[in-house]
Structure 1
Amino acid sequence: MNKNYCPSLTEYKRRLSREVSIGDLPMGGLNPIRVQSMTTVDTMDTLGSVEQTLRMVEAGCEYVRITAPSVKEAQNLLEIKKELRKRGCTVPLIADIHFTPNAAELAARIVEKVRVNPGNYADKKKFDVIEYTDSSYAAEVERIRERFRPLVQICKQYGTAMRIGTNHGSLSDRILSRYGDTPLGMVESALEFLRLCEEENYYDVVLSMKASNTQVMVQAYRLLVQKLDAEGLQPYPLHLGVTEAGEAEDGRIKSAVGIGTLLEDGLGDTVRVSLTEAPEAEAPVAKALIDRYTKRAQEARPIKPLAVVSREYDTDNQQLTTDKSLIPIDPFQYHRRTTREVLNLGGQNVPRVLVDISRLSSVEYADLRAVGHLYSAFLDKFQMNDLGADYLYSGQRPVPFMLPNGLKEVVDYTAWLDAGQRPDHYPVLTQAEYATASARHPELNFVRQTLDSLTPAALQQLRDDATAVIILATDNAHAMPEIRRAFFELLNNAVPNPVIIQRQYPALTPEQTQLYAATDVGGLLLDGLGDGVVLSTELLPERPKEEWLTTLDQLNQLSFGILQAARTRMSKTEYISCPSCGRTLFDLQETTAMIRKRTDHLKGVKIGIMGCIVNGPGEMADADYGYVGVGKGKIALYRGQEVIKKSVPEERAVDELIELMREDGRWLEKELLEEPVVG
């Protein structure tokens, strides 16, 4: 299969998409990557919607989306637009449509762009499995096309742009029955609508493939681009987003893993970060992700290109159709790289977290709290929380006491030799040290590598060493593609050693470190690359110990957060919570915080928190439990995609959600230590 989905895997090149006019602010082509968000105020509240829109524009939004669940809201978009223009605000408005074609057809005459979801625009989702013959399937597609055609014609007449926005959680029963709950199903859902647009010579179209599962989301966008090229369709602009990313740090990490991975490959023309927070909080996060690529091409060092086995051309159009490079991964489906097991690294083990404590001048029992290992003086023992690091790198200063069970120590090779080659310490060697080392640990040796150091001799030595684990790093601005290129070198040379991904971030704010690390490491994990992670900040002058411990705590939590967002290690409760909009039937931020407070100790449980039925059982897709607004003060509780309790009063809903978990044996009471932990 043709694996090409982006301009280059080793050089930063932005995909050149078709330019689409949206009001007086075009998207795609050579225009900057745009920022957008969505209002949360009831659309019938004209002044509230206007005031919130103005705050969003002030925060950096270049497009503002407003929900129009029925004709009356679509009509009121005109009043909102009039008031905004009266106040001198010309931001393009986007109507968000789900189940109501008549609302879409009205809104298309008013706003600059409409968003339709092909999964529920004239289609249906009742979680029914339907057996289709080819002819019955084709008949159903034609019925939907005829229902969609009037909107296309109105948009063409009024110069209104359209986003065909597929959501993983709202694929129709028809698509699910034929393609399953897959990226291919998402892509085909959009292409059915897009083909009609092209038949009508309507090209002002933007496409999106959103999911709360970052693996599915990235695979779907890549496959979409590949399919557009394969079918000879226009290179339409892409709207990037992770649905129901959540709130606070988790929401930002998850968004960066999905969106950042695609931006790294030059995909994306507009970004929306979906946080369960005020919409004006979303734009700065989107802008921070986008700004990283403003000068990427100039700042990046060249990366050794992939070898090309053969090329095939369309001789009529003089275009490259297939570039059979040595790309040893499937970019459209998750497969974890096969590695040998070394101690508890690689093989079937979850990716491990290594924390660099080498800058600490001294280490005490209480300091290990920063890496998730809590010491109780009363019990005189350690307790590991769900974010307990697996390895500590202490460099030249080994920890002066016995570490808690489950935590292993890594030291520099020279320190290991000087200490008498202790069996409870694992050495880390440079490639030069490794090439000539006369003594090695019998179980586990870490070897620092870069793309340049992976010479044929080094690859052979690693391949033959059943104790070697690679720590792979780069200082290239185009970091993720260079590390990915190094993984390709390992794969193409059948080197099965586990790999720890190392990233160091100089002179960045904690917020930038969070977004950049989630992109760099998360993008690799989504491709099945990486058996662990170690993050560090720049080597600053000596800082107070408390500052270092705070930084270590942040980096440790960030490491686990990235692994969870990439769906490679579930270490805490996951909340799939929508960002709210005018359809929301309760206070999402307050409710999410309340549910989190009661349930955040449930390791690996996924809870969907949805403001309305539009973002209900479908949108939360693979959640274990769902909390969905179905009316004013009324909540429906779900087990997976099955509704278990309907119309539960809001004041009792969290208790009944917990009771449902208890019935399933998924509930655990919070454990309390007998005495507060030191530190």
Structure 2
Amino acid sequence: MKKVADLPFYCASLFDYQRRSTREVRVGEVGIGGSNPLRLQSMTTTSSMDTAATAAQCLRIVQAGGELVRITTQGRREAINLEAIKSELKQKGQDFPLVADVHFNPNAALLAAERVEKVRINPGNFADGAKKFREVAYDAESYAADLAEIEDKLVPLLDLCKKHGTALRIGANHGSLSDRIMSRYGDTPEGMVASCMEFLRLCRKYDFHEIVLSIKSSNTRVMVHTVRLLVASMQAEGMAYPLHLGVTEAGSGEDGRIKSAVGIGALLADGLGDTIRVSLTEDPEAEVPVAALLRDYVSGRAGHAPIKPVVDFSYSPYAYQQRQSHPIGLFGGGQTAGVVPDLRGCGALMSGLLRPEAVIVDAVDSNLPEDWSGVQRWVPVAGNEGFVPTQAVWPLLDVKTYLADRVASGPKVLEISYVDLQPELLGRLKTDKDVVLLLKTGHQNGTAEQRACFFALDKAGLSHPVVLHRSYTDAVAGEFQLKAAADTGLLLLDGYGDGLSLSAPAVPPKVLLDTHFGVLQAARVRFSKTEFISCPGCGRTLFDLQETTRKVQARTGHLKDLKIAIMGCIVNGIGEMADADYGYVGAGPGKVSLFKNRELVVKTLPEAEAVERLVELIKESGDWLEPK
């Protein structure tokens, strides 16, 4: 694989939204990539041997708007039963594409390729078996021998796919890289990309091109940077296969939706992605409307007004690099990203809400909850002439007022947008270091415009802290959360933004405030509560995943700064919880194993005892706090 510095850029433009050009792949009657719209899909959670239940769930997914349905295919029996499921659907007058999800078992993939329109294989375990987390020394000869074994097992599958017109999804997961890949690349984006590229080169060698690619992780930062790297690596070798996008093990409820919108939205914003799945620990049909909203919202940027490009910019798209800013109060200088809700026009606030660093309010005497003593007020100068700025009250200025020099010295907040970065303002800011910039946008492609502003500030040598501001005038709660996450996630994942400020007057104040913290946590720049890494479940799941997740959340949700993984089985379980502090993983029917920092602590515990034993393990490790 080429060095990152030698790769072509991953998208056509950072300032003009346009879909990435790919070859078309046919999955039955559904086209992916090419000139086709972004496709939506989900995955069943029923037993793959329960024909009626699986067919019924497939129908619910399609009725919700799904265009493809994936079914877990553990072995030969499940692969053969795909034929019965397909027959059941045809009897009900339905004939949409089915996708077999295969891990560990090339023989199951062969059987599935004869029965359904698409087969998903994982390059991390297609020929290598389960990831064992061993440190294995591979010399060039043994590495080549492993690749030869993969080729021997892959070619028969490619031949069958050609014969039956079956598409192939090569789907790498962060948690299931082979020991061979780990030995050379480690648990890195480069390793995930190398794992995919090995399989792609073999497919090209045997003239097979009906391929969709996916690289997933529960870590949004890893997921976004790795998909970009995959696209650049494909381009370097003249490949243009379509992409399937998803944040794996995103969780449930608003946290799962926000996390998915941050990761998927960041890639869609640059035109990447041809089919998506939102992975929630909920019934699969609940995933599809979330995916549809993201698709429609981001694709609505097509044909937007031009954004003036920044030339000779510095950008790190394949690895996190935080923008360097100087500190002003609680903002900038590498301090934790601040929360600054815009409360203008907002309803009454109640005590007990998460506490932000500052708030934007209409007036100096605006009411705040009693337990928010010390929270800073940012007050517009316009309409509040004569107030005296203090440490607790900072003036909020527009550019015209600022340039007119009608404000006292000391810390201040300046509302700007990209078009305001004219020579006069840039010159003034170079001599005035005591300004926090509140970066606003009303552009149809606001994410790209705000990114351009960061590039321009850096090019001008300005290091002022920047708080991202986005406004959602009429949005209701669920829609607002997804849009805010999709709009700001890309910038935060790339290290841009010293704080977040959202305005949504139609949304309850608690939802507004929680969304700030949720987006920052999903983008991995500020952790304010327990992070639950939970898979959506599938036919391999060995317990009631939704109910178990609720139980674990109820007992441990108050533990700030902890990551707890809840996994239905071992396919990705141990790997995807690589950065989790504790793991709860299905080990057999009615059995659960508990992990701490990826190390097995309790093996095959009865499910009825597992949640309380997890709590005991957290207490024994000194990470427990009693809920307030």
Structure 2 counterparts to residues 338-487 of structure 1, below 5 A: 338-359=324-345, 367-369=349-351, 374=352, 387-399=354-366, 404-414=372-382, 417-442=385-410, 444-487=411-454
1:508 maps to 2:494: no
In the alignment, which residue of structure 2 is the partner of 1:331? 317
Range with bigger deviation, 138-147 or 649-658:
138-147
1:113 maps to 2:118: yes
Aligned-pair CA distance for 1:461: 1.9
1:51 maps to 2:37: no
SS at match of 2:458: helix
SS at match of 1:206: strand
After superposition, give the CA deviation of every residue in 1:412-469 in whole Å (9 maximum; x if it has no partner).
1246651233442111111111112243342x21101100001122123223222111
SS at match of 2:532: strand
SS at match of 2:533: strand
After superposition, give the CA deviation of every residue in 1:634-677 in whole Å (9 maximum; x if it has no partner).
10001121111001111110111111111111111112xxxxxx
SS at match of 1:618: helix
Q: Distance in 2 between matches of 1:196 and 1:133?
A: 21
SS at match of 1:652: helix
Letter in structure 2 aligned against 1:75: I
SS at match of 1:607: strand
1:303 maps to 2:289: no
* Contact 2:364 2:393 survives alignment (8 Å): no
In the alignment, which residue of structure 2 is the partner of 1:321? none
After superposition, give the CA deviation of every residue in 1:547-595 in whole Å (9 maximum; x if it has no partner).
x7x6221111001000000000000000100001011111111000010
* Contact 1:416 1:425 survives alignment (8 Å): no
Q: Distance in 2 between matches of 1:567 and 1:661?
A: 23
After superposition, give the CA deviation of every residue in 1:184-229 in whole Å (9 maximum; x if it has no partner).
1111101111110001100000000100000000001100110011
SS at match of 2:25: coil
Q: Distance in 2 between matches of 1:44 and 1:635?
A: 23
1:67 maps to 2:72: yes
In the alignment, which residue of structure 1 is the partner of 2:518? 561
In the alignment, which residue of structure 2 is the partner of 1:634? 591
* Contact 2:44 2:284 survives alignment (8 Å): yes
Q: Which of the residues 163, 168, 174 maps onto 2:174? A: 168
Q: Distance in 1 between matches of 2:169 and 2:454?
A: 36
In the alignment, which residue of structure 1 is the partner of 2:569? 612
Aligned-pair CA distance for 1:407: 1.3
Q: Distance in 2 between matches of 1:333 and 1:279?
A: 32
* Contact 2:355 2:372 survives alignment (8 Å): no
In the alignment, which residue of structure 1 is the partner of 2:253? 248
Structure 2 counterparts to residues 277-288 of structure 1, below 5 A: 277-288=282-293
Q: Distance in 2 between matches of 1:50 and 1:400?
A: 55
Q: Distance in 1 between matches of 2:298 and 2:520?
A: 24
In the alignment, which residue of structure 2 is the partner of 1:221? 227
Q: Please, which runs of 5 or more residues in structure 2 have no aligned partner?
A: none
In the alignment, which residue of structure 2 is the partner of 1:157? 163
Q: Distance in 1 between matches of 2:299 and 2:321?
A: 32
In the alignment, which residue of structure 2 is the partner of 1:381? none
Calculate the TM-score normalised by the size of structure 1.
0.89
* Contact 1:169 1:621 survives alignment (8 Å): yes
SS at match of 1:635: strand
Range with bigger deviation, 270-279 or 652-661:
652-661
After superposition, give the CA deviation of every residue in 1:306-325 in whole Å (9 maximum; x if it has no partner).
32xxxxxxxxxxxxxxxxxx
* Contact 1:209 1:220 survives alignment (8 Å): yes
Q: Distance in 1 between matches of 2:42 and 2:367?
A: 51
Q: Distance in 1 between matches of 2:416 and 2:395?
A: 14
Aligned-pair CA distance for 1:606: 0.5
Letter in structure 1 aligned against 2:308: K
* Contact 1:98 1:614 survives alignment (8 Å): yes
Letter in structure 2 aligned against 1:640: N
Letter in structure 2 aligned against 1:331: P
Q: Which of the residues 172, 179, 182 maps onto 2:188? A: 182
After superposition, give the CA deviation of every residue in 1:46-91 in whole Å (9 maximum; x if it has no partner).
0011111111110111000000101110010010011111211111
Aligned-pair CA distance for 1:295: 3.6
1:97 maps to 2:54: no
Q: Distance in 1 between matches of 2:166 and 2:616?
A: 49
1:585 maps to 2:542: yes
Q: 1:422/1:406 Cα in 2 relative to 1: closer, same or farther (>3 Å)?
A: closer
Q: 1:400/1:247 Cα in 2 relative to 1: closer, same or farther (>3 Å)?
A: closer
Identity of aligned residues (%): 49
Q: Distance in 1 between matches of 2:343 and 2:514?
A: 14
Q: Which of the residues 539, 543, 556 maps onto 1:599? A: 556
Q: Distance in 2 between matches of 1:83 and 1:360?
A: 52
Q: 1:3/1:337 Cα in 2 relative to 1: closer, same or farther (>3 Å)?
A: farther
Q: 1:422/1:348 Cα in 2 relative to 1: closer, same or farther (>3 Å)?
A: closer
In the alignment, which residue of structure 2 is the partner of 1:136? 142
* Contact 1:416 1:422 survives alignment (8 Å): no
Range with bigger deviation, 485-494 or 459-468:
459-468
* Contact 2:540 2:569 survives alignment (8 Å): yes
Q: Distance in 2 between matches of 1:228 and 1:152?
A: 20
Q: Distance in 2 between matches of 1:603 and 1:17?
A: 43
Q: Distance in 1 between matches of 2:220 and 2:345?
A: 34
Structure 2 counterparts to residues 182-221 of structure 1, below 5 A: 182-221=188-227
Q: Distance in 1 between matches of 2:82 and 2:388?
A: 75
Q: Please, which runs of 5 or more residues in structure 1 have no aligned partner?
A: 308-325, 375-384, 539-547, 672-679
Q: Distance in 2 between matches of 1:601 and 1:609?
A: 16
Structure 2 counterparts to residues 639-650 of structure 1, below 5 A: 639-650=596-607
Letter in structure 2 aligned against 1:204: E
Q: Distance in 1 between matches of 2:391 and 2:596?
A: 48
Q: 1:441/1:195 Cα in 2 relative to 1: closer, same or farther (>3 Å)?
A: same
In the alignment, which residue of structure 2 is the partner of 1:29? 34
In the alignment, which residue of structure 2 is the partner of 1:237? 242
After superposition, give the CA deviation of every residue in 1:508-542 in whole Å (9 maximum; x if it has no partner).
2322211110011111100100000111126xxxx
Letter in structure 1 aligned against 2:533: I
Q: Distance in 2 between matches of 1:228 and 1:421?
A: 55
Letter in structure 1 aligned against 2:403: A
* Contact 2:441 2:470 survives alignment (8 Å): yes
In the alignment, which residue of structure 2 is the partner of 1:311? none
Letter in structure 2 aligned against 1:425: V
Calculate the TM-score normalised by the size of structure 2.
0.96
Letter in structure 2 aligned against 1:145: E
Pairs aligned (count): 621
Q: Distance in 2 between matches of 1:422 and 1:611?
A: 53
Letter in structure 1 aligned against 2:437: I
Letter in structure 2 aligned against 1:223: L
Letter in structure 2 aligned against 1:556: L
Aligned-pair CA distance for 1:150: 1.3
Letter in structure 1 aligned against 2:404: T
In the alignment, which residue of structure 2 is the partner of 1:314? none
SS at match of 1:570: coil
Q: Which of the residues 281, 287, 310 maps onto 1:276? A: 281
Q: Distance in 2 between matches of 1:440 and 1:229?
A: 54
Aligned-pair CA distance for 1:131: 1.6
Q: Distance in 2 between matches of 1:114 and 1:250?
A: 30
Q: Distance in 2 between matches of 1:202 and 1:360?
A: 57
